[in-house]
Structure 1
Amino acid sequence: MLTNDHITLGPVHENEFEQMASWYVHESFGRRLDARPLQFKTADEMKKWWTGSSQQEYRFGIRLKETNQLIGFVEMDGILWNHGTAWVSIAIGESSQWGKGYGKEAMECCIRFAFMELNLHRLQLTVFSYNEPAIRLYAALGFTREGVYREFIERNGKRYDMILYGLLRSEWASEKTFSL
């Protein structure tokens, strides 16, 4: 369930929080992930965030199967168990691994886990309109564009929308064949 052709999802180890913090040095990483101003992270801050998860959050490191290298993470948070909904996000931190399809594989695993293991009904996410690779990814995964927060964010003197996407379990299941 937490593995695909080239990646696996799993824990992040104590000695990897420094690596995760280094991803925030890259402006394009932080600006795709967060609406807040670019802020560098320390290994201690990353560890506190990672280990501070609750019953409303699931976080997984994304690892390359071949080398076991940590290249990013996926997160489901804000889970409302009574409604079966959650927010999902993904980040490939290692820029050398961008554009290779690992994000899609990781999201496929995350979606499978959410719908088949956690029995959730709906996943949702937001993305900034300038993040065209992510928008293409979410469309390829079957997410539906549901709304727009117009001119939500300003970057380098220009306003950008934040787009809301959603995926229902029934929509996802209609596209899949299962073998247990």
Structure 2
Amino acid sequence: MFIRFMINYEQKPMTKEQQIVIRLDYFTEEDFDDLISWVNHTDPAFFMKWSGPTFTYPLTIEQLHNYSEGANKSGSDAFIFKVVVDETNEAAGHLALRNIDSYHSCARLGKVLISPDYRGKGFAKPAIRKALEFAFEYLDLNRLALGVFSFNTPAYQLYRETGFTEEGYFRDFRRVGDEYWDMYEMAMLKKDYIQKKENDDPA
């Protein structure tokens, strides 16, 4: 039986009293309402920036059932997580590894979102690092890729800081209303992950 994957991450305190400690738990039907509340109180442009073409605005229970069906099982092509504050067990975010291809040893990271209550408080970087750990150490993948819209500077910088490399730039990649959005394609290889981990945590 496939064991639920939980991981903790600690970093320097945000304040003298507070320390970020999170884990990744599998995203289940019990988490649908949280995710819906986070994204449906935004505008459709923000929704597209987060979801791409996977969902249509507004997000519904039915869409999330389709999205999560078959995920989080041994041999699945998708693992979908919620980011959880370890001390309080509060949901603080969401992310997914999808399009997992065991033969080519690759996957895509996406649907990264920190909840409004925890946004801007340093939770995104540890969440990405734990997704990388799951991809490269637990799944033993060789390559993890993602797409980020060109104007989403905070996300682009976050991915660069966590070790992703820009591999391409797609002009007019997605139409949103009367606009076309450009997109960066970024990726990380397992050897890059190992090297960065050694550099960040020298013996």
TM-score, normalised to structure 1's length?
Answer: 0.87
Q: In structure 2, which of residues 133, 151, 155 is the aligned counterpart of residue 130 of structure 1?
A: 151
Q: In structure 2, which of residues 31, 34, 43 is the aligned counterpart of residue 19 of structure 1?
A: 34
C-alpha deviation, 1:51, in angstroms: 3.6
**Partner residue in 1 for 2:96:** 75
User: Which secondary structure state, in structure 2, belongs to the residue aligned with residue 134 of structure 1?
Assistant: helix
Return 140-149 or 40-49, whichever deviates more.
40-49
Measure the CA separation in 1 of the matches of 2:140 and 2:82.
21
Distance change in 2, residues 1:44/1:152 (3 Å): closer
Measure the CA separation in 2 of the matches of 1:38 and 1:99.
26
Distance change in 2, residues 1:76/1:137 (3 Å): same
**Partner residue in 1 for 2:125:** 104
**Partner residue in 2 for 1:50:** 68
Q: Percent identity?
A: 28
Q: Are the equivalent residues in 2 in contact too, given 1:20–1:46 (CA < 8 A)?
A: no
C-alpha deviation, 1:23, in angstroms: 2.1
Return 83-92 or 163-172, whichever deviates more.
83-92
1:40 aligns with 2:49: no
**Partner residue in 2 for 1:59:** 80
Distance change in 2, residues 1:24/1:167 (3 Å): same
Measure the CA separation in 2 of the matches of 1:62 and 1:90.
12
User: Which secondary structure state, in structure 2, belongs to the residue aligned with residue 83 of structure 1?
Assistant: coil
Return 167-176 or 8-17, whichever deviates more.
8-17
**Partner residue in 2 for 1:8:** 23
TM-score, normalised to structure 2's length?
Answer: 0.78
Structure 2 residue runs of 5 or longer lacking an equivalent are 1-5, 11-20
Deviations 1:34-85 (A, max 9, x none): 3348511223432442243261111111111221111222211111111111
Measure the CA separation in 1 of the matches of 2:84 and 2:46.
18
Q: Which fold has the larger relative contact order, with Cα–Cα distance below 8 Å and residues 6 or more apart in sequence?
A: 1
Measure the CA separation in 1 of the matches of 2:38 and 2:103.
35
User: Aligned letter for 2:7?
Assistant: L
Return 70-79 or 86-95, whichever deviates more.
86-95
User: Which secondary structure state, in structure 1, belongs to the residue aligned with residue 197 of structure 2?
Assistant: coil
**Partner residue in 2 for 1:174:** 195
Measure the CA separation in 2 of the matches of 1:14 and 1:154.
31
User: Aligned letter for 1:41?
Assistant: L
Deviations 1:77-97 (A, max 9, x none): 111111111111142252222
C-alpha deviation, 1:13, in angstroms: 4.6
The structure 1 segments of at least 4 consecutive aligned residues displaced by more than 6 Å after TM superposition are none
Structure 1 residue runs of 5 or longer lacking an equivalent are none
Measure the CA separation in 1 of the matches of 2:62 and 2:180.
33
Measure the CA separation in 2 of the matches of 1:30 and 1:50.
18
